[in-house]
Amino acid sequence: MGNIEDRLKSLNIDLPEPAAPAAIYIPAVTVNNLVYTSGNDCRKDGKLIYMGKVGSDLSVEQGQQAARQTMINLLAVLKNHIGDLDRVERIVKLLGFVNSAPGFVEQPYVINGASSLLEEIFGDAGKHARSAIGAPELPFNTPVEIEMIVQLKS
Q: Each residue's pLDDT tens digit in the chain (154 positions)?
A: 579 999 999 999 999 999 889 899 999 999 999 999 999 999 999 999 999 999 999 999 999 999 999 999 999 999 999 999 999 999 999 999 999 999 999 999 999 999 999 999 999 999 999 999 999 999 999 999 999 999 999 9
CA dist 120 → 11, 23, 102, 115, 139 (Å): 9, 32, 32, 9, 28
Spatial separation of the C-alpha atoms in residues 108 and 91, rounded to whole Å? 17
CA dist 134 → 30, 59, 128, 142, 145 (Å): 28, 14, 19, 13, 10
